[in-house]
Structure 1
Amino acid sequence: MTLDPAASGRPPSIRDVARVAGVSHQTVSRVLNNHPSIRDTTRQRVLEVMAELQYQPNRAARALASSRSRTIGILSAMSTDYGPASIMTSVEAAARANGYWVSVANIDPSVEGSISDALAQLRAQAVEGIVVVAPQVRVFEALATLPLDIPYVTLQSTSDDGHALFFDQYAGARLATRHLLELGHRGIYHLSGPQDWIEADARMQGFLDELNAWDAPTTAPILGDWSADFGYFAGRELLRVRDFTAVFASNDQMALGLLHALRDGGVDVPGEVSVIGFDDIPEAAHFWPPLTTVRQDFPELGRRAVAFLLGELDAEGAHTIAPQLMVRNSTAPVAR
Structure 2
Amino acid sequence: MTVPARTTRTAVIGDVARLAGVSNQTVSRVLNDHPRVHPETRDRVLEAVRQLNYRPNAMARGLVRRRSHMIGVVSFDTVLFGPAATLLGIGRAARAAGYGVNIITPETADRAGVIEAVETLASQAVAGVIIVFAPQAAAATALYNLPSNLPVVAIEVGVNDEIPTVRIDQSTGARLAVEHLLELGHQTVWHVAGPRDRLDAQDRVEGWRATLEAAGRTVPPVIVGDWSAEAGFQAGLQLARRDDVTAIFAANDQMALGLLRGLHESGVRVPDDISVVGFDDIPEAGYLIPPLTTIRPDHDHVGRQSVTALLHLLDHRTGTGQIPAKIVPTLIRRRSTAPPYVAS
The normalised TM-score by structure 2 is 0.75
Q: Could you say which residue in structure 2 is the equivalent of 1:40?
A: none
- Structure 2 unaligned segments of length 5 or more: list them: 1-57
Q: Does the residue aligned with 1:248 lie in a helix, a strand or coil?
A: strand
Question: Is the 8 Å Cα contact of residues 153 and 308 (structure 1) preserved in structure 2?
Answer: yes
Q: Residue 118 in 1 paired to residue 117 in 2?
A: yes
234-243 vs 111-120, which moves further: 111-120
Q: Could you say which residue in structure 1 is the equivalent of 2:166?
A: 165
Deviation of 1:111 (Å): 5.0
Q: Could you say which residue in structure 1 is the equivalent of 2:255?
A: 254
Q: Could you say which residue in structure 2 is the equivalent of 1:232?
A: 233
Q: Does the residue aligned with 1:153 lie in a helix, a strand or coil?
A: strand
Question: Is the 8 Å Cα contact of residues 182 and 188 (structure 2) preserved in structure 1?
Answer: no
Task: Name the CA distance, whole Å, in 1 between partners of 2:307 and 2:61.
Answer: 23
Task: Name the CA distance, whole Å, in 2 between partners of 1:192 and 1:212.
Answer: 17
Question: Is the 8 Å Cα contact of residues 90 and 303 (structure 1) preserved in structure 2?
Answer: yes
Q: Could you say which residue in structure 1 is the equivalent of 2:155?
A: 155
Q: Could you say which residue in structure 2 is the equivalent of 1:203?
A: 204
Q: Could you say which residue in structure 2 is the equivalent of 1:330?
A: 336
Question: Is the 8 Å Cα contact of residues 109 and 135 (structure 2) preserved in structure 1?
Answer: no
After superposition, the CA RMSD in angstroms is: 2.2
Question: Is the 8 Å Cα contact of residues 122 and 150 (structure 2) preserved in structure 1?
Answer: no
Q: Does the residue aligned with 1:154 lie in a helix, a strand or coil?
A: strand
Deviation of 1:65 (Å): 2.5
Task: Name the CA distance, whole Å, in 2 between partners of 1:229 and 1:166.
Answer: 27
1:135-150 mapped onto 2 (5 Å cutoff)? 135-147=134-146, 148-150=148-150
Deviation of 1:180 (Å): 0.7
1:1-336 mapped onto 2 (5 Å cutoff)? 63-110=62-109, 113-147=112-146, 148-161=148-161, 162-311=163-312, 315-317=321-323, 319-336=325-342
Change (3 A) 1:201 1:108: farther
Q: Does the residue aligned with 2:331 lie in a helix, a strand or coil?
A: strand
83-92 vs 245-254, which moves further: 83-92
Task: Name the CA distance, whole Å, in 1 between partners of 2:60 and 2:321.
Answer: 32
Amino acid at match of 1:263: H
220-229 vs 109-118, which moves further: 109-118
Deviation of 1:317 (Å): 4.0
Q: Does the residue aligned with 1:145 lie in a helix, a strand or coil?
A: helix
241-250 vs 62-71, which moves further: 62-71
Question: Is the 8 Å Cα contact of residues 252 and 293 (structure 1) preserved in structure 2?
Answer: yes
Deviation of 1:64 (Å): 4.3
Deviation of 1:259 (Å): 0.8
Question: Is the 8 Å Cα contact of residues 77 and 109 (structure 1) preserved in structure 2?
Answer: no
Q: Could you say which residue in structure 1 is the equivalent of 2:12?
A: none
Task: Name the CA distance, whole Å, in 1 between partners of 2:60 and 2:91.
Answer: 24
Deviation of 1:61 (Å): 7.4
Task: Name the CA distance, whole Å, in 2 between partners of 1:286 and 1:236.
Answer: 22
Change (3 A) 1:78 1:188: closer
1:277-307, Cα deviation, whole Å (9 max, x unpaired): 0000000011111100000111211211111
Question: Is the 8 Å Cα contact of residues 293 and 332 (structure 2) preserved in structure 1?
Answer: yes
Task: Name the CA distance, whole Å, in 1 between partners of 2:111 and 2:285.
Answer: 37
How high is the sequence identity, in percent, across the aligned residues?
A: 40
Change (3 A) 1:207 1:110: same
Task: Name the CA distance, whole Å, in 2 between partners of 1:122 and 1:191.
Answer: 36
Deviation of 1:141 (Å): 1.4
Question: Is the 8 Å Cα contact of residues 232 and 256 (structure 2) preserved in structure 1?
Answer: yes
74-83 vs 119-128, which moves further: 74-83
Question: Is the 8 Å Cα contact of residues 109 and 139 (structure 1) preserved in structure 2?
Answer: no
Q: Does the residue aligned with 1:205 lie in a helix, a strand or coil?
A: helix
The normalised TM-score by structure 1 is 0.77
Q: Does the residue aligned with 1:275 lie in a helix, a strand or coil?
A: strand
Q: Does the residue aligned with 2:157 lie in a helix, a strand or coil?
A: coil
